[in-house]
A and B are shown apart, each in its own frame.
Chain A
């Protein structure tokens, strides 16, 4: 595991971190605009997936480039840098699992609504409100 040892780097690493975070923010905002604007529920789901992926990218950027002052060392942890990188990747794995379950159930709900009403338009689905 020698290759896992972290190396402290200068401003170049911080610039890469900021670049990845800005890309994640841009993708998240584009996805959010799509969720608000589009009326087709399938496309709204796609935009939610895009937002989840933007968050995954942010997690991985923080797993690779770790700001030193926010890393909290836990007791008995030989190298908090490695455990921080691992926990970032684990979060991405669990977000992927949750997204897969969410898409299966959500598309099932859209299919059921389509069978019931024969049209899909988010603005017309207000049965629960009335």
Chain B
């Protein structure tokens, strides 16, 4: 096994448990905090993969900006406490979980398991540094980068329009 494997096991267990927490907690605030933990462990997994810049941006964008947005909305909608009535999940529970497990088993056996038998190249640790990403982002991928900036601008304008009293 590779050297990063024990770290991977610990982080994988924590991230799966916190993901289950996001789904299972009744209170939206607890779901949100559990999601913060999931994002942090995913950032550490990115570091374990050698993608340093993306690990940092994961912490800043997801665990920072997006989660603050979620918590603000929970605060403004007064969703903080437990739900008033219990969620009517019974009949959906019996369909959703077997179907999901079936799809997961299909993907695991037909797509992921054959990867064990193919030759795999490992790229060096330096591929995730800003020195490696910056030139690629501003030469090969400069047009997608600009389109992403336009998309974010549209997102800003759209959310301001939605936040106005009358539209």
A 67-83 contacts with B by CB, 8 A: 67-69, 71, 81-83
What residues on A are CB-neighbors of B120 within 8 Å?
A: 9, 13-14, 17, 65-68
A102 to B152, CA, bound (A): 9
Whether the Cβ atoms of B1 and A27 lie closer than 8 Å is no
**How far, in Å, is A43 (CB) from chain B's closest CB?**
5
What residues on B are CB-neighbors of A27 within 8 Å?
A: 15-16, 19, 38
Give a binary string over A92-109; 1 marks a CB under 8 Å from any B CB, 0 the rest.
Answer: 111011111111110111
Nearest residue, chain A, Cβ from B165: A115
Whether the Cβ atoms of B39 and A53 lie closer than 8 Å is yes
Whether the Cβ atoms of B57 and A93 lie closer than 8 Å is yes
Nearest residue, chain A, Cβ from B113: A18
Size band of the interface chain B makes with A: 35 or more
Whether the Cβ atoms of A13 and B122 lie closer than 8 Å is yes
Whether the Cβ atoms of A9 and B122 lie closer than 8 Å is yes
Whether the Cβ atoms of B22 and A43 lie closer than 8 Å is yes
What residues on A are CB-neighbors of B31 within 8 Å?
A: 43, 46
Chain A interface residue count, CB cutoff 8 Å, equals 85
**How far, in Å, is B37 (CB) from chain A's closest CB?**
12
A13-B122, A82-B127 given; A20·B107 CB < 8 A? no
Interface residue from B2, B51, B65, B107 paired with A63 (Cβ < 8 Å): B51
Whether the Cβ atoms of B35 and A50 lie closer than 8 Å is yes
Whether the Cβ atoms of B104 and A45 lie closer than 8 Å is no
**How far, in Å, is A32 (CB) from chain B's closest CB?**
6
Footprint of B on A, CB under 8 Å? Answer: 1, 3-9, 11-23, 25-27, 29-34, 36-40, 42-43, 45-47, 49-50, 53, 56-57, 60-61, 63-69, 71, 81-83, 85-87, 89-90, 92-94, 96-105, 107-112, 114, 120, 123
Footprint of A on B, CB under 8 Å? Answer: 1-2, 4-5, 8, 12, 15-16, 19-20, 22-23, 28, 31-32, 35, 38-39, 42, 45-46, 49-51, 53-54, 57-58, 61-62, 65-66, 69-70, 73-74, 76-77, 79, 83, 87-89, 92-93, 96-97, 100-101, 103-104, 107-108, 112-113, 115-128, 132-133, 136-137, 140-141, 144, 148, 151-152, 154-156, 158-159, 161-163, 167
> Lowest 8 CB-CB distances: which A-B pairs, in order?
A101-B155, A108-B162, A34-B23, A3-B126, A108-B159, A97-B148, A104-B159, A36-B96
